[in-house]
Structure 1
C-alpha cells in the first residue's frame, strides 16, 4: 500500500514532463492527499496537439503493430492489477472488489480492440451500371482524436476510448477527470511500456474551462469522444460544429419487474446494481416499475437487501458501497431526497449522509417533477413505482428526456421480443437490470443520453474514414 504522496508527470510526445502547476488528488474516503499531478497550460496543450498531428502524418503505425501494442498493454494491465485497483479505490472511492472488476474489464476491452484492429477491411462494391469500372473501399484513420473522460470508471472508460482510437490508427489526446487522473497516468505508463509510438497517446490534466476549451477549439482535432453530462455534451457539439463527436451522456435508467418473474431474485439484483460505485454509473438502476400484484413482496426484499449492504472504506474487501466522489455531490443528493420527501415521497431505508458517504436509499410515492425521478441521480438511490399494464410500464419508462438503457424482468417470450421496439432506449436488457454492460457490445443512447456507439468494434467504425476507390479498367 502506498504511504507517501505520489508525484505524477504528464505524458507528452513520448516524454514525461513536469509543469509549474499541480493538481491535488485526494483519498475520497479519508480526505488525505493521495497524489499531485502536473497541470497542463495553453502552451503545453498546443505542444500536445502539434505532436499528435505530426505523429499522424509522419509515423507509420500499421495494423500488426497496433495489435501487438494493445495486446501487450492488456498483459501489462493484468500484471499490475493489484496496484491499479488500489489506485481506483483510493482516488475514486470505488470498493476494491469493484475496482478489481474494472481492471479485469479493461484488460478485456484492450484485447477486443486489438482483435478488431485486424478486421479493418474494405469491400468490393457490385457494379451494375458503369461498365469498365472496378469499385471498392478502403478504411483509413480519421486523424487526431480527443477523449474527455469521467471519474466513475477512470480506467475502463479511458480504455474504451484509447483502445478503439489506436486500433483504428489514430493518435489520441486524453483529458481525464482531474479527481481520478492518477489512474490515467498509470495507464499511460503501461502504454509507453507496451511500445505505443511517440505522440500516439498523450495525457493532459486541467480544467474544462481551460484545457477542455482549447481542445474543442482547435480544428486540427477531428473527432471527440466524451462521457459525461448532457450539458457538457451539448456544449461540445455546439463548439466543434461539423467535426464529429461520440457522446455518451446521462440517464435515469429504468427497470421493469413484471408479474411473471422471480420477484425475490429481481429485487436482490436491483438492490446490488442500484448501488454499484455508490450509484455513480450511467446505467445504474434509478427508477423501478413494479407490477401492482407483486409490489409488496418486491419492496420487502428490496428494502431488506439494500439495508444489508456494507457501507464504508473502499479498501475493505467486504465493502459494497463507498463514498461518493465528493461531499458536494453527497450534499446534492441529500437535498434531492429532502425535496422529494417534502413533496410526498417516502424513504423506506437509507438516505442519511455523513461527509461524502450516503446510505443507500429506497424511495416510494415518487412522481414526475421530483429531481430523483426526472434527473440523473448518480447516487446510491432507487425509486419504486407500480403499474397495472405493460403499456403503462412502457409509458413510464419512456417518460424521460434520457434513453440509454432499460431492463425488464419477465418470463413472457412474446413480450421479450416486443419490448425492444417499444422502449425508447439504446439498449434493452431482458431478465436483468439496466446496469448490465458487456464491453464488446454496442453501447450508447438516444435523446439526451447522447449519440454514437461505444464497444470497440462499433467505436472503431466512427474512427475510420471510408474512402471509395473507382478504377477505370478501360484506360
Structure 2
C-alpha cells in the first residue's frame, strides 16, 4: 500500500502518523497519507517564506514552468483520471473532463504571469501636480495558503496554485484528506516542470487541526479556501486583517419561464446539472422554479431524465453517476429527504440509498424551510417549485443565505433583464443553468457563498498588492 507523503522544501516527508484513503465505490483502503503535526506546518511555511525571499523567477520563467506543468498533466491524463475515479468516486468520463479543465486552468494561469500590469494615474490633472507622473505596479504578497475540497480536487487546486505562482507567490497547499493522491501527483508535475524547492509545499492531515495551525501562522499573507460555510467563517475570523478568498457553496436555483422553446430539453439539462458528480458541485442544480403553465410537463420530463441517469462501473465511459464521497454523506441526504417527505414533500423518483450511492432524486411540494431547499444538499437531489409571476420566482431564489449563481431559462429580454438586475447572486446565467462554469469566468458569490472571485485573470488580482509610484520630474 502506498503512503502519500508531504512535500516540504522539495523533499518528501513522513508525518506524525497516517490516515487511510478509501476507494469511494468499494470502501477498500487504497493508500495512506502522512499526517502533519505542528512541526511539519512550521517547516512548510518556513520553506515557502525562504523561497519567496531567495528564489527569483521572471514573469516569463513563471509562465514557462506553469505551462510545462500543464503539459505534463495532459500527458498523464489517464493516470490522473484513474486516481480521481478511485479517491473521489467520479465516473471516468467526468474524471477525464476535470483533468482537461485543470489543464486549461493552468494554461490560463501561465498566460496571466505575462500580463501582470498596473495603470497610469492622471496625477497631472490635480492642482499643483503638473510636473508629477504616477503609475501602479503589482507585486506578489508572499506566502499563500491554498485549501481545497474533495469534489474537484485537481481543477480547484489549479485555480488556486496556478494564479498564486503566476503572481510570484509561494504556496502551502492543503488538500482534502479524502483526495490526496491527485494532490501529490499535481505537486510532482510542478517539481518536474522546474519549480524550485519551497515554492510549492504539500501538507496533509485532518482539516480542523492542520487548518488551525496554518491560520495561526501570520507569515501566511493570504488564504484561498473552498469548502463549507462554517469552516470558511471560522477561517475568516482566524486570519484577521490578512487577505482571504472564500468559495463556500450554495443551494443554487434555476428559473424556467413559460416561454422556453423546449420544456423537455430544459428539464433534462436541469437534471444533468443536478446529478453530475453525484450532485457534489457548489453550483449544482438544487432548486428549480417553473412557470405554473409548464410545471406538470417539466416534472414529467425531469423524472424521465432522472430515471435514465445511468450508474454502474466507474471505469465505464457510459456511467453517469457514482457514489457520494462517503456513506456518511449519503446517510445525511437520505435523512434530509425522508424528513422532507414526512413534512409533506413528494418524492417523484429516487429517494433510496445503497451504501455511499444515492439515487437521482426529484422532489415536489417542498417548503422553503425544508433542509433540501434552504441548506446545501451537495447530493443528487433537486426540488421543483411552481410560480405564477417572475417577481415571485426571483423573491424565492433570493430567499436564502446563499448567492453563488442562478440560471434563467427564457426567451424574453425583459424577463432576462429583470432577473439580471434583481437576482442576489455572483453570476446570472441566461439561457442555461446555474451550474454553467468556464474556467476563465469570474466565479464567486455573495452573502454566505463567499468572498472574492476565482478565474485566473481575476484571482491574480487578489494574489498581488497594488503599489503606487509617484515621480516628481522636477526633483
Q: TM-score range by the shorter chain?
A: over 0.9
Aligned to 2:214: 215
Aligned to 1:199: 198
Contact 1:150 1:227 in 2 (8 A): yes
Structure 1 moving runs of 4+ over 6 Å: none
Aligned to 2:3: 7
- 1:357 matched to 2:353? The reply is no
Q: Distance in 2 between matches of 1:331 and 1:78?
A: 36
- 1:94 matched to 2:93? The reply is no
Structure 1 alignment gaps of length 5 or more = none
Aligned residues: 471
TM-superposed CA distance for 1:211, in Å, is: 1.2
Contact 1:154 1:183 in 2 (8 A): yes
SS of residue paired to 1:178: coil
TM-score, with normalisation over the residues of structure 1? 0.98
Aligned to 1:168: 167
Contact 2:176 2:207 in 1 (8 A): no
Aligned to 2:49: 53
Aligned to 1:288: 288
Structure 2 alignment gaps of length 5 or more = none
Contact 1:66 1:117 in 2 (8 A): yes
Q: For the aligned residues, what is the CA RMSD?
A: 0.9
Q: Distance in 1 between matches of 2:317 and 2:2?
A: 23
TM-superposed CA distance for 1:419, in Å, is: 1.7
Q: Distance in 1 between matches of 2:290 and 2:194?
A: 52
Q: Deviations over 1:95-126 (max 9, x none)?
A: 11011000000000000011111110122211
Q: Distance in 1 between matches of 2:4 and 2:339?
A: 41
TM-superposed CA distance for 1:20, in Å, is: 4.1
TM-superposed CA distance for 1:279, in Å, is: 0.2
Paired residue for 1:64, among 43, 60, 63?
60
SS of residue paired to 1:97: helix
Matches within 5 A, 1:329-368: 329-368=329-368
Aligned to 1:114: 110
Q: Distance in 2 between matches of 1:383 and 1:312?
A: 25
Aligned to 1:237: 236
Q: Deviations over 1:20-51 (max 9, x none)?
A: 41221110001111111222111111010011
SS of residue paired to 1:36: strand
Aligned to 2:373: 373
Q: Deviations over 1:297-329 (max 9, x none)?
A: 111111011011112332222211100000100
Q: Deviations over 1:211-245 (max 9, x none)?
A: 11010011000100000111111101111111110
Contact 2:35 2:206 in 1 (8 A): no
Q: Deviations over 1:44-97 (max 9, x none)?
A: 110100111111111112101110011101101110000101101111011110
Contact 1:27 1:90 in 2 (8 A): yes
After alignment, is 402-411 or 14-23 more displaced? 14-23
Q: Distance in 2 between matches of 1:318 and 1:206?
A: 34
Q: Distance in 1 between matches of 2:103 and 2:146?
A: 19
Aligned to 2:322: 322
Contact 2:60 2:114 in 1 (8 A): yes
Contact 2:222 2:243 in 1 (8 A): yes
Aligned to 2:259: 260
Q: Distance in 2 between matches of 1:459 and 1:155?
A: 17
TM-score, with normalisation over the residues of structure 2? 0.98
